[in-house]
Every structure is written in structure tokens, then in C-alpha cells.
Amino acid sequence: MPEEISRTVTTVSSMREAVRGLLSAAGISDPQVDADLLIGFVLDASRGRVQAMAITDTAVSPDDAATINELTTRRAAREPLQHITGQAPFRSLVLAVGPGVFVPRPETEQVTQIAIDRLNQSELPEPIAVDLGTGSGAIALALATEVPRARVFAVEKSVDAFLWTRRNFDAVAAPNATLVLGDLADAFPEIDGTADVVISNPPYIPDAAIPREVEVRLHDPGAALYGGEDGLDVVRAVSTRAQMLLHPGGTLILEHGEEQGPGIRALLAADGWRTPRTTPDLSGRDRATSAIR
Ligand SMILES: C[S@@+](CC[C@H](N)C(=O)[O-])C[C@H]1O[C@@H](n2cnc3c(N)ncnc32)[C@H](O)[C@@H]1O
């Protein structure tokens, strides 16, 4: 190979280093992970494969290098990685996401497990689960696919988010999942008194507590984040609606902020729920509260 060309050859190894450096300088908390995921997205390779390609000094074509550079600039400007790739992994699913819809988070995967366990414990042939404020459809579609005998109902109020919800429901095509556009306050009156599980990851941030993280502040929709002055407006609406949807003995599962466990337990107890209990996640943070109707 002539020396001039060989000097312009870009390798996975050098790109990993360069992308990591740029993302680190932009203040991204785990720059190597994001570098590998961005490069892997362009090269259609898993993270492990990207690492293997770096070890073997695989070359990157000029076109791919240009795309990687372009996406790195977007990520360095703090656009969420999931908006750049258009994808968010959630349990066994890969969901389509972008502007207008909340990007599902790993902590919600654990909260969803509580609902899955509850449904699996049910002796009913077709236990019913309801996801209030479904966003991308993450929780509802995980429940519908992982507990195929369950019937799952999901509601989303934001039209912008619903475009993504619809797309994900269409792609997963779970026959046991029903989706509606509407307000959770009056969703699914036809199943009142029959649901076994109501789950919600509602907006719960107090209006004045603007998140510091740019990706959240600028790119997650406000309707997915903010829950009024004390953050609990939608939690109150979920509690009221879930009382009607669940049969006696049914379970409400709420995701919430780390500091909100005591406030939410008090709110639920005042609404007449039995045994409100906050469960720590795998990192010991109080992110979910369950209660029995
Ligand atoms: C924090 S996001 C959670 C989305 C998804 N369940 C997840 O965990 O990734 C909250 C969602 O609730 C929706 N939402 C807020 N208020 C609602 C209401 N009154 N009725 C229905 N959906 C609502 C928001 O638009 C947003 O999509």
C-alpha cells in the first residue's frame, strides 16, 4: 500500500480512543461505553465485537469514519445516545425512541420485574395488568411478551409520545396488549374492578427541580418528567385510578424518585391502600413502592 494511503487509514482502535476523548471532554459520564456503542451502531457490531475489532486493529472505511465523527459531535453536544441511534434496549426488547418520548431507563427494568413476578404468581388463567403513562410502551410490552397469558392495557396521554408508542406496539405485535391514547384518569373503565396489577412510572419530579443532566433536561419531554409543585400530582391521579381498576387484593406498583418513598407511602396509606412498601433496587436505592388494594 502506498505510504500516503496507509497514513490516512483509520482503525477501530484509533477511533475508539478519539471518540472516547471527545465524549470525556464533553462531560459524558461513561465515555468509553458510549464510544463503543456509537462505533458499534455505525459498524453494525456489538460492544464486544467493537472491542475485538480494536484489538485486531480492523480498519474503518472513510464513509463509516465520517458517520462516526458526525454522530460523536451530536453526542458531545449531549444529545441522548438513544436518540442518535433511535433505539433503546429494555429487558428483551429494543424499542424505537426519539424526540417526544421518554427514553426507558434500566431502573424501570427492575420495577417491571415486580409486576412480572406478581402476574406469574396469579392463579388466574389471564391475569390483567395496566400500565398508566406508557411512554415508549416499555413496561406494557415487556409484561405482554414476558407473561404471554396476561392481558395488558396501556395508556399514554401525550400525542408526541404516542407516535412512538404506536410504532413500538405495531413492531412487537403482542396479541395480548391493548393501547389507547388518553388520560390515565379515566382509562379503561371497561375493566374496572378486574385488574391484578397496575404499574406506573409517572412523571414525579417537582416542577422547580430542573434536572442537571442535559440529556434529561433538554431531550426528555416535560410531560414525562414534571409532576407539579411537589412532584406527586400524577401519582395522586394514578392512586385514584388504580383503586378503581384493581380488584380487592390487586397490586399497585409505582416507580418514583429516591427520596419519595416516605411521601408516597403516606399518600397511598391516606388513600386507603394496604401495606404500602418501598423496595430498594439492586444498588440499594428506594425507587419503587407497592401497595395492595
Ligand atoms: C416517566 S414517563 C414513563 C414512560 C414509560 N412508562 C417508561 O417507564 O419508560 C411518564 C409517561 O406518562 C405520561 N403521562 C403523564 N401524565 C399522563 C396522564 N395523565 N395520562 C396518561 N399518560 C400520562 C407521559 O406523557 C410519559 O410518557
Domain harbouring 114, CATH code = 3.40.50.150
pTM (2 decimals)?
0.94
Kindly give the distance from the C-alpha atom of residue 155 to the centroid of ligand 1, in angstroms, as a whole number.
8
Residue 226 beta carbon below 6 angstroms from any ligand 1 atom: no
Q: Which positions ≥6 away from 208 have C-beta within 8 Å? A: 229
Residue 139 beta carbon below 6 angstroms from any ligand 1 atom: yes
Kindly give the distance from the C-alpha atom of residue 231 to the centroid of ligand 1, in angstroms, as a whole number.
13
Which of 28, 44, 77 delimits the end of a domain? 77
Residue 137 beta carbon below 6 angstroms from any ligand 1 atom: no
> What integer pLDDT is reported at residue 9 of this predicted model?
65
Q: Are residues 92 and 14 in the same domain?
A: no
Q: Are residues 48 and 95 in the same domain?
A: no
Let me know if residue 82 belongs to a domain.
Answer: no
Q: Are residues 108 and 205 in the same domain?
A: yes
Residue 243 beta carbon below 6 angstroms from any ligand 1 atom: no
φ, ψ dihedrals at 173, nearest 5°:
50, 45
Taking 70 as the pLDDT cut, the residues of the chain under it are 1-9
Distances from the Cα of 76 to the Cαs of 14, 25, 32, 56, 224, in angstroms?
18, 8, 13, 27, 24
Q: Are residues 203 and 236 in the same domain?
A: yes
Query: Which residues, listed in sequence order, are joined to residue 290 by a DSSP beta bridge?
Result: 253, 277
Q: Are residues 58 and 164 in the same domain?
A: no
Task: Report pLDDT digits (tens) over 18-31.
Answer: 999 999 999 999 99
Report the nearest atom of ligand 1 relative to the CA of 204: 1
Residue 100 beta carbon below 6 angstroms from any ligand 1 atom: no
Let me know if residue 83 belongs to a domain.
Answer: no
Kindly give the distance from the C-alpha atom of residue 132 to the centroid of ligand 1, in angstroms, as a whole number.
7
Domain CATH code at residue 20: 1.10.8
Kindly give the distance from the C-alpha atom of residue 203 to the centroid of ligand 1, in angstroms, as a whole number.
6
> What integer pLDDT is reported at residue 214 of this predicted model?
87
Q: Are residues 114 and 51 in the same domain?
A: no
> What integer pLDDT is reported at residue 2 of this predicted model?
35
Task: Report pLDDT digits (tens) over 161-182.
Answer: 999 999 999 999 999 999 999 9
Residue 184 beta carbon below 6 angstroms from any ligand 1 atom: yes
Q: Ramachandran region of residue 89, left (φ > 0), alpha (ψ -120 to 50) or beta?
A: beta
Kindly give the distance from the C-alpha atom of residue 44 to the centroid of ligand 1, in angstroms, as a whole number.
31
Going by their DSSP bridges, the two strands 286-292 and 246-255 should be labelled as antiparallel
Residue 276 beta carbon below 6 angstroms from any ligand 1 atom: no
Q: Are residues 116 and 214 in the same domain?
A: yes
Report the nearest atom of ligand 1 relative to the CA of 183: 20
Return the SS3 of 247.
Answer: strand
Q: Which residue is associated with the grid cell 409520545? A: 161
Residues spanned by the domain of 179: 88-292
Residue nearest to atom 22 of ligand 1 (CA): 133
Q: Are residues 32 and 128 in the same domain?
A: no
> What integer pLDDT is reported at residue 8 of this predicted model?
59
Q: Are residues 238 and 270 in the same domain?
A: yes
As for how many domains the chain has, the answer is 2
Q: Are residues 12 and 149 in the same domain?
A: no
